Amino acid sequence: MTDDPTTALRATRLGRRFRGGWALRDCDFALPAGRITALVGPNGAGKSTLFHLATGLLRPTSGDLRVFGAEPGSPAARDRTAFLAQDKPLYPRFTVDDTLRFGRELNGDWDHASAERIVRAGNIPLDARVGALSQGQTTRVALALAFGKRPDLLLLDEPLADLDPLVRIEAMGLVMAEVADRGTTVVMSSHVLSELENACDHVLLLGRGAVRLDGDAQRLCDTHVRITGLADPATDDGLPPDVDRATVVEAAVTGRQVHALLRHSDWSPGDPWIVENPSLEDLLLAYLRSDHPAEAAA
C-alpha cells in the first residue's frame, strides 16, 4: 500500500456485509486530500457504512480502507480524523463547557480557543445543557467539538439534515471557514444536492453498495452533456441509433421530445439538438435516477 500524501481516503476492493447482505462491495476509490468531497447516493447506498468504516467504528468484511495511509481506528488515523455522525450525538446532560472539556480531555492535540470561539460566535452560553439547545446550536457545538480536534480529515454524515435553511448556511459556512483556515479534507454526505454543488469540488456517488461515479466535480460536468431534441421513433430510447449506448446515463422521451444525459463520446449531436453542459446537481440527479430504472420507467 503506497502512502500517498495527496490521498486522504483510499479504498481497495472495500466490502462490508451485514446480515441483510452487502452494504458495500468491491469499492475502489481515492479521495484527494485538501478537497471537499460530496458523498452522494440514495438511502441504503452505503454512505453511512463508509463513514463508519473510515472511522474504525466498523471493520471491513473484505478489502481495505486507509486514512492517510493508516488503518481507520488506529491511533494515527483517529488523531487526524473527526466524525460528525448523522444524528449528531452529544451527551445531553453535559453542559456546553463539559462538552468542550470532553474534547480536550480525550484528545492530545486540542485547540480549545477555537472550539470555544465557534461556540461563542453562535451566542451559546457555555453553561447551557446540551440537551436544552436548539438543533442549530447542537450542530454548532458538534462542529466545534470536531474542529477543536484540528482534524486533517473531516467526515460529515448528513450534516445539514433536519436543519432550517438559515442554520444550513451557517453550518456549511463554519465548515467552509475551517477548510479555508486549515485546508482540511472534507467528505460530506447530503441529500441537499444544490448545497453540495457550491461547496464540493469532488464527487463520490454510491449506488447499491458500489461506486458509480468518482471524480473532480468540474471535470465531471465538463465531460457530460445534456441534450434535448426530436426523438427518433425508430429507437426505444429516442436517441439516434449511432449513439454509443454505453455513454447514455439517462434518456427520457416525452411526446416527440427526447431529453438525455450522455458521457462524452465520438458521437456529436448535430444542429437540431439543444446541447448544454449539465450542472453538478443535474448530473447527480441523472445518475441517481438511472440507479432506479423501475422508478424512472413509472
Partner 1 sequence: MKGTLWLAWRQQRALILTGAAVLLAVTAWVVVMRTDMTGFISSHHIDTAGCKGWDGGCESEATLKLLDDNNGPLRALGSLSTALPVLIGIFWGAPLLGRELESGTWKLALTQGVGIGRWFTTRFALATASTVLGSAVLAALVAWWWSPVSNMLGGLYWHDGYIFNATGPAAVACALFGLAAGTAAGLLIRRTLPAMAAVLGAVVAVRFALNSFRSDWISPQLWISKGDAPRREIGSGWSTGEFGFVDAAGRKHAIPDACPWGEGLPDLKTCMAQKGFTGRYRTVYPSGDFWTFQWIETGIFVGLAAVLVAAICFVLKRRPLP
Partner 2 sequence: MIAFRIDRRSGVATYLQLVHQVRQALRLGMLEPGDRLPTAREVVEAVAVNPNTVLRAYRELERDGLVEPRPGQGTFVRRSLARPAAAADSPLRAEAAAWVGRARAAGLEREDVAALTASVLDDAFPLPDPPPPFIPAQKQKPTHTHTQEEDT
- Site residues, partner 1 (CB under 8 A): 52, 55-59, 75, 78-79, 81-83, 85, 87, 89-92, 94, 98, 101-103, 105-109, 145, 149
DSSP secondary structure code for residue 95 in this structure = B
Q: What is the footprint of partner 2 within residues 24-83 (CB under 8 A)?
A: 28-29, 36
Asked whether position 84 contacts partner 2 by CB under 8 A, the answer is no
For partner 2, the closer of residues 74 and 277 by Cβ is 277
3-state per-residue secondary structure call for 22-35: EEEEEEEEEEECCC
Helices (H), the chain: 47-54, 75-80, 96-106, 112-121, 135-148, 165-182, 193-199, 217-222, 280-290, 293-297
Smallest distance, Å, CB 175 to partner 2?
Answer: 8
Of partner 1, partner 2, none, which one sits near residue 14, judging by CB under 5 to 8 A according to partner kind? none
191 is an interface residue for partner 2 by CB under 8 A: no
211 contributes a contact to partner 2 by CB under 8 A: yes
User: Residue 98: which of partner 1, partner 2, none does it interact with, CB under 5 to 8 A by kind?
Assistant: partner 1
Task: State the nearest-atom distance from the C-beta of 75 to partner 1, in Å.
Answer: 7
Our CA angle for 282, 265, 234, nearest 5°, is 85
CB 98 within 8 A of CB 116: no
Candidates 97, 162, 201, 237: give the one binding partner 2 (CB under 8 A).
201
211 binds, among partner 1, partner 2, none (CB under 5 to 8 A by kind): partner 2
Q: Which stretch binds partner 2 (CB under 8 A): 73-81, 98-106, 142-150, 200-208?
A: 200-208
- The nearer residue to partner 1, 122 or 148, going by C-beta atoms, is 148
Instruction: Report if residue 111 touches partner 2, rule: CB under 8 A.
Output: no
Query: Residues 38, 40, 45, CA angle at the centre, nearest 5°?
Result: 145
CA distances from 77 to 69, 119, 295 (A): 8, 26, 40
Q: What is the DSSP letter of 270?
A: -
Residue 296 binds: one of partner 2, partner 1, none (C-beta under 5 to 8 A by kind): none
Separation of CA 89 from chain center: 19
Closest separation between CB of residue 51 and partner 1, Å?
9
- What is the rounded distance in angstroms from the CA atom of residue 104 to the CA atom of residue 120? 17
Tell me which residue of 227, 243, 224 sits closest to 235, measured CA to CA: 243
Q: Least Å distance between CB 155 and partner 2?
A: 17
The residue type at 214: D
Number of residues that bind partner 2 (CB under 8 A): 49
Q: Closest approach of Cβ 176 to partner 2, in Å?
A: 4
Residues 187 and 204: their CA atoms lie apart, in Å, by 9
> In angstroms, how far is CA 172 from the centroid of its own chain?
13
* The one among 11, 39, 100, 225 contacting partner 2 by CB under 8 A: 225
Grid coordinates in use for 202? 469532488
Residue numbers at the binding site for partner 2 (CB under 8 A): 28-29, 36, 168-177, 179-181, 194-195, 197-201, 207, 210-216, 219-220, 222-223, 225, 246, 263-266, 268-269, 275-277, 279, 290, 293
